[in-house]
Amino acid sequence: MPVETIDTLVIGAGQAGVAMSEHLGREGVPHIVLEKSRIAERWRTGRWDSLVANGPAWHDRFPGLEFDGDGEAFPAKDEMADYFERYAAKFGAPIRCGVEATRVQRLEGRSGFRVETSAGVIEARNVVSATGPFQTPVIPHVVPQDAPVTQLHSADYRNPEQLPEGAVLVVGAGSSGAQIADELNRAGRKVYLSVGPHGRPPRTYRGRDYCWWLGVLGLWDIPAPAPGTEHVTIAVSGAQGGRTVEFRQLAAEGITLVGRTESYADGRLSFEDDLARNIRRGDTDYLAMLDQADAYVTRNGLDLPEEPEARQMLPDPDCMIDPLRELDLDEAGVKTILWATGYALDYGWLDLDVLDENGRPQHERGVSPERGFYFLGLPWLSRRGSSFIWGVWHDARYIADQIVIQRSYSTYDDEARRATTARAAE
């Protein structure tokens, strides 16, 4: 089979690949985007049925296209996938669906890469990896696989009916865990929710969505997590029209909160004694944002309605005052453990020296140490917003710039330049 050549090859056509293609197209860089499934496949089939975007439609989008309908609404997951399909169609993104990149290697003795794909070999001067920030579901090794309880990851959860009858322990209280626990509780399940350290911004404050507040306060743009908050998940939700995640409220609605899941033996799970600490830390994060918002309103003389009630917390629930430290799964009727414990990256296809000893991508704002190879869409690639919809669009622009800069060097032609200079001197 003949080898195809292209200037830039983008791997993955989620939102990151679509954004990359838009910027490359604008700069006139010949490129192809490979997608092993369909455009925005993870929005379509990699999420639970009722998922809506965590940000309102006016915010969780690219600059070049608005969602149809109410900008304050939270688009459903399939609307998100449709949106990215429409976006790609709008500028004729050269996306090849159903083609998987299986190996990327440096070309010997010349610049560029050899990319093996499920549809043949492509040689490219540049390669952009846009394969996603959340790829392989991670389940911590706490409960053995053969324990008499169904275990699944939030990536495989679809709806309450999918789970065996009985109570559910949801482990992890970031956006996924908090939303799934709430959904199961509303569906009449007995739910235990294991809450670790988290941030929980207000859904709205003084009439503005938290996405707006993060924007005006410059918090989407911070280049690195604040010290001590590197692994803290954010609990935010657009479900039910968008509500602040308030764990005391979830407890008042029937969910039993427990601390971090620690260990398992003989059908009993034990939890750390950190529930109250984790919830109070979330409160601190929440209140700090209200303080920053108030200061911003005062400094800028904005006319936004005061909202003192946002500072009132519900009383601590019993499960927080006297938390369960152990749970006998059988006695409690727990038939399912749902792990909302995050994802790892998978670069099994990458045969380049661009990962560190822990398999983490090495890069500076997406520019890897291997000339011509770029990462896009990773958490904190350049800023807090990097793995989110609006942020990845801006990172893609930066990477397109870097590609264009290198293209201008590589097309430098000293003969032509000398001839031009000589003509000018005549």
Ligand X SMILES: Cc1cc2nc3c(=O)[nH]c(=O)nc-3n(C[C@H](O)[C@H](O)[C@H](O)COP(=O)(O)OP(=O)(O)OC[C@H]3O[C@@H](n4cnc5c(N)ncnc54)[C@H](O)[C@@H]3O)c2cc1C
Spatial separation of the C-alpha atoms in residues 76 and 64, rounded to whole Å: 20
Q: DSSP for 56-91? A: -TTTSS-TT-PPSS-TTS--BHHHHHHHHHHHHHHT
> Quick count: other Cβ atoms within 10 Å of Cβ 401?
12
Judged by CB under 6 A, how many residues of this single chain contact ligand X?
33
Q: Are 179 and 47 in contact (CB under 8 A)?
A: no
**Site mask, ligand X, residues 140-159, x = CB under 6 A?**
--------------------
Residues pairing with 40 in the sheet: none
Smallest separation (angstroms) from ligand X to the CB of 383: 13
Both structure tokens of 82: 């449709």
- Which window, 158-166, 217-225, 383-391, 404-412, contacts ligand X (CB under 6 A)? 383-391
CB 61 to ligand X: min, Å: 9
CB closer to ligand X out of 16 and 334 = 16
Site for ligand X in 39-78 (CB under 6 A): 41-43, 47, 53-55, 60
- The C-alpha atoms of residue 204 and residue 268 are separated, in whole angstroms, by 39
Q: Which of 56, 132, 196, 372 binds ligand X (CB under 6 A)?
A: 132
Minimum CB distance to ligand X smaller for 55 or for 172 = 55
> Residue 15 or 185: which CB sits closer to ligand X?
15
By CB under 6 A, the residues from 85 to 114 that bind ligand X are 100-101
CB 10, min distance to ligand X, A: 9
The DSSP bridge pattern shows strands 256-258 and 233-234 to be unpaired
Verify binding: residue 388, ligand X, rule CB under 6 A. yes
DSSP secondary structure code for residue 206 in this structure:
T
- Per DSSP, the three-state class of 45 is helix
What is the Cβ-side half-sphere exposure of residue 168, based on CA atoms within 13 angstroms?
A: 33
- Taking CB under 6 A as the rule, does residue 377 contact ligand X? yes
Tell me if 35 contacts ligand X by CB under 6 A. yes
Residue with smaller CB distance to ligand X, 93 or 101: 101
Give exposure, 185-194, as e/b (b: 16+ Cβ within 10 Å): beeebbbbbb
Of 4, 37, 208, 283, which lies in the binding site for ligand X, with binding defined by CB under 6 A? 37
- Chain centre to alpha carbon of residue 169: 23
Q: Of all helices (H) and strands (E), which one includes residue 114?
A: strand 113-117
Tell me: does residue 242 bind ligand X (CB under 6 A): no
Task: For the segment 112-131, give every residue that binds ligand X (CB under 6 A).
Answer: 130-131
Residue 12 within binding range of ligand X, rule CB under 6 A: yes
**Secondary structure element (H or E) that encloses residue 125, with its range:** strand 120-129
Rank residues 199 and 317 by Cβ distance to ligand X and give the closer one: 199
The answer to whether residues 336 and 371 touch, using CB atoms and an 8 Å cutoff, is no
To ligand X, the closest distance from the beta carbon of 36 in angstroms equals 4
Query: Is residue 15 close enough to count as binding ligand X by CB under 6 A?
Result: yes
Q: Do residues 379 and 386 make contact, with C-beta atoms less than 8 angstroms apart? A: yes
Closer residue to ligand X, CB minimum distance, 128 or 130: 130
Q: Compute the least distance from the CB of residue 344 to ligand X, in Å.
A: 13
What are the tokens at 360?
């983490």
With contacts defined by CB under 6 A, name the span among 14-22, 141-149, 202-210, 323-331 that binds ligand X: 14-22
Please give the residue ranges that form the binding site for ligand X (CB under 6 A).
Answer: 11-17, 34-37, 41-43, 47, 53-55, 60, 100-101, 130-134, 176, 349, 377, 387-389, 392
